[in-house]
Amino acid sequence: MEIFEKLFPPAEYARRTRAVQGRMRAAGLDLIVAQDPANMCWLTGFDGWSFYVPQCVILHVDAANPVWFGRAMDAKSARITTDLPDADIVPYAERLIHHPVEHPYDALAALIRDRGWARARIGVEMDAHYYTARCHQHLAAGLPEATLGSNGDLVNWARLVKSPEEVALMRAAGEIVSAAIDRTAEVMRPGVPQQDIIAEVLHSLTRGVPGAGGDYAAIVPMMPVGEGTSTPHLTWTDKPLPTSGLAMLEISGARRRYHAPLTRTFHLGKPPRELADLAKIIVEGVDCAMEQARPGNTAEQVEAAWQASIARHGLKKESRVGYSIGLAYPPDWGERTVSLRPGDQTELAEGMCFHIQAGMWLADYGAAISESIVVTPSGADRLTRAPRDLIVID
Amino acid sequence: MEIFEKLFPPAEYARRTRAVQGRMRAAGLDLIVAQDPANMCWLTGFDGWSFYVPQCVILHVDAANPVWFGRAMDAKSARITTDLPDADIVPYAERLIHHPVEHPYDALAALIRDRGWARARIGVEMDAHYYTARCHQHLAAGLPEATLGSNGDLVNWARLVKSPEEVALMRAAGEIVSAAIDRTAEVMRPGVPQQDIIAEVLHSLTRGVPGAGGDYAAIVPMMPVGEGTSTPHLTWTDKPLPTSGLAMLEISGARRRYHAPLTRTFHLGKPPRELADLAKIIVEGVDCAMEQARPGNTAEQVEAAWQASIARHGLKKESRVGYSIGLAYPPDWGERTVSLRPGDQTELAEGMCFHIQAGMWLADYGAAISESIVVTPSGADRLTRAPRDLIVID
């Protein structure tokens, strides 16, 4: 039995490689260094939790395929999960891990020189989570004749429009997260320790749904409770849920690393009138945003529709109302490209996917009822089937 | 009801701050920028999944306490989880998130200038996972009169020796991971889809044990199967477990962000003789390493004992046999300080904790039976109670 089923055929990775090389030509780049694990996976299929040490794929504008560069013990993962030829799976020595003076990217610079690319115009991912200041410093020191600069996250931008096969994975992730929201509503009760709720959520997200097992999400379940709902990124504690009050859950289904995130707000006991009203305002605002999320409209138009809707109730959201989603690794399921906010004039196109994060974090409490959507010719289509309202636990 | 119970009293955070300031004086630094989320939490208690955007604590050598700097929507998390005075919780504007030209660290540079530290000798964490090349570039550009360089990970080094209270948390994490290994042995059966095993593992790790709920681990469960065991960092797939063969599980218990990782190797059906032998060689090697893990011995002595033991059976491990552990956030539960390997002459002391990662990844298969330990006056003490052998599933 094959131990690993590759997600896409070699032709699809070749298509992506050509698309990225086209962007490289347009940007005047000979070589890119892609360290974002999602970019590595999208370009080659490489998958594994080894991104906590320096690793990357490099792609030359004229090459047949990218080159994987990583820690010796992870080279076998590259052989198992990618179709790259052995000559293009290049390990570095174990002694470079956490070495006080040397660094794995000394070896990366040597690889680039060995391939005859010492004088290349090289584009790196300056703000990718794991591309540290020290990675950059050692790479630059080892390539004194190269021109080193930002590649403008061009691989991230190449990932923006999803193929039908990718949208199918996003929809599977949507099924997975919908099932987990259902499960949460079953188990969330006053007095239950928070970690017991999260245990059920993770169990559901990981088992997945028939035909689609769950993968790990790029972010763990976040569940602010009570006044904690006035800020979005608190995780659970082992305190019991209150007899009466708020809990907000932000989770994502993941299917083969494709994500469909969702936020829902729960109220234990009868909700105060102002909270029920806020939930309605949010859902109405999301309706207005989705109405505008169609090919040809811009990202800022989608946000403006949301903002106009909540403004009718005297509200304003300072932070963006959404961002592009797709293939992702920790620590974030956003793609770091399009934001639904003023000034982002990206034109929406069929196959783009967004998390409309319609959360209002007020001074003492908050509520969020988000949607993950795919842009279709006829407008936004939801990736999930979770109930669109405040979920009241009586 | 308080929604968040702080882990340590203000005096403990003050003690840590003074200890770090002592290291800063010794290193000739006026100011440090700590972006590693574990360093942020250790210095202030700050906790939340907001490390996917730029944030940090900065500490001046003469200041009463660190200053938290982060995204506007996360400032409330800092108010909830730390004792920092409001004036030392400094948010940056939402529009700086994923901005193509501006960057949050423009605002950090402004904050440092505003505090009168424009000409400071500043130490940053050059290789911390989230301290990107772009963070460094913007910080440097905004502080032209400062001296900017590596701080030698001095906060990480300050974390190396755990207090008795921290060791108690490590032991709780050890109880949590031990229970999860027990649960895995109950559910691992031929033909079960891999994600169903992992769902049970995550459920167990998250519920925790009586008196100690589980927190999220810095790494998701890794479970290479069959030939996948020849490389350590593959995660699960939705293929069924084979009728006969290997599965390796590397997981960690986490209690209030303190970690006790553990790797165990399972064999479905009767194991081949060579595997059973390899397991015994590994356990014997770990015994020899633990025997040397006592105050006054060096990290490389511990490794040498392991290597000498397995060498008697003709084996050699290329990669380090362990590393320091403690407080951690994704993507790694290692502390990026001490490695058990040749050349590391760190002297062991009471309260240091290590993951002895005794894994042998051979050409076609592998096995690992690790231990998380704390150094006590009388030698190494295991943090877990999982069985120390190949786990055979009949």
Pairing of strands A353-356, A322-329: antiparallel
String of DSSP letters for A13-35: HHHHHHHHHHHHHHHT-SEEEE-
Residue of A nearest to B52 (CA): A331
- Beta carbons of B218 and B254 less than 8 angstroms apart: yes
* Minimal C-alpha gap between B126 and chain A (Å): 5
Q: What is the pLDDT of residues B169-192, one digit of tens each?
A: 999 999 999 999 999 999 999 999
Nearest to A51 among B50, B331, B339 (CB): B331
- The pLDDT score that the predictor gives to residue A1 is 52
String of DSSP letters for B122-181: EEE-TT-TT-BHHHHHHHHHH-TTSEEEE-TTHHHHHTSBPPHHHHHHHHHHHHHHHHHH
Q: What is the pLDDT of residues B275-303, one digit of tens each?
A: 999 999 999 999 999 999 999 999 999 99
CB within 8 Å of chain A, chain B residues 312-341: 318-320, 323, 330-332, 334, 336-337, 339, 341
- The pLDDT score that the predictor gives to residue A210 is 97
Average pLDDT estimate for A335-353: 97
Give the residue ranges of DSSP H helices in chain B.
10-27, 37-44, 75-81, 104-114, 133-142, 154-158, 164-187, 194-207, 273-292, 299-311
Listed residue (B177, B174, B183, B165) closest to B205, CA to CA: B177
* Coil vs helix vs strand at B209: strand
Is the Cα dihedral A183, A186, A191, A196 positive or negative? negative
Cα distance between residue B68 and residue A257, in whole Å: 33
Q: Which residues contact B346 (CB under 8 A, 6 or more apart)?
A: B298, B299, B337, B338
Q: Which residues contact B255 (CB under 8 A, 6 or more apart)?
A: B169, B170, B172, B173, B176, B208, B212, B213, B214, B215
* Coil vs helix vs strand at B351: coil
Average pLDDT estimate for B198-227: 97
- The pLDDT score that the predictor gives to residue A362 is 87
CB pairs under 8 A between A and B: 240
Cα distance between residue B249 and residue B199, in whole Å: 13
Instruction: Note whether A10-158 and A164-393 share their fold.
Output: no
- Beta carbons of A340 and A322 less than 8 angstroms apart: yes
Q: Which residues contact B211 (CB under 8 A, 6 or more apart)?
A: B172
Residue B145 has pLDDT above 90, yes or no: yes
Length of chain A in residues, anyone? Answer: 394
Residue A148 sits at φ, ψ, to 5 deg, of: -115, 125
Average pLDDT estimate for A341-366: 95
**Can you identify the CATH homologous superfamily of domain B164-393?**
Creatinase/methionine aminopeptidase superfamily (3.90.230.10)
Percent of chain B with pLDDT over 70: 100
Residue-wise burial string across A288-326, b where 16 or more C-beta atoms lie within 10 A, e elsewhere: bbbebbbeebbbbbbbbbbbebbeeeeeebebbbbbbbb
Residue B1 has pLDDT above 80, yes or no: no
Cα distance between residue A251 and residue A387, in whole Å: 15
Is B331 in contact with A130 (Cβ distance < 8 A)?
yes
- The pLDDT score that the predictor gives to residue A361 is 87
Nearest to A133 among B1, B74, B136 (CB): B136
Domain boundaries, chain B: 10-158, 164-393
- Beta carbons of B215 and B256 less than 8 angstroms apart: yes
Q: What is the pLDDT of residues B58-72, one digit of tens each?
A: 999 999 999 999 999
Listed residue (B148, B150, B90, B139) closest to B119, CA to CA: B148
Residue A95: its chain B contacts at CB < 8 A?
341
Residue A386 has pLDDT above 60, yes or no: yes
Cα distance between residue A367 and residue A247, in whole Å: 9
Q: What is the pLDDT of residues B97-123, one digit of tens each?
A: 999 999 999 999 999 999 999 999 999
Q: What is the pLDDT of residues B72-87, one digit of tens each?
A: 999 999 999 999 999 9
Cα distance between residue B385 and residue B371, in whole Å: 9
- Beta carbons of B330 and B219 less than 8 angstroms apart: yes
* Coil vs helix vs strand at A130: coil
CB within 8 Å of chain A, chain B residues 149-178: 150
Cis status of the peptide bond prior to A331, with omega within 30 of 0: yes
Residues B10-158, CATH architecture:
3-Layer(aba) Sandwich (3.40)
Residue B267 has pLDDT above 60, yes or no: yes
- The pLDDT score that the predictor gives to residue A53 is 98
- The pLDDT score that the predictor gives to residue A141 is 98
- The pLDDT score that the predictor gives to residue B275 is 95
Residue at A355: amino acid letter: H
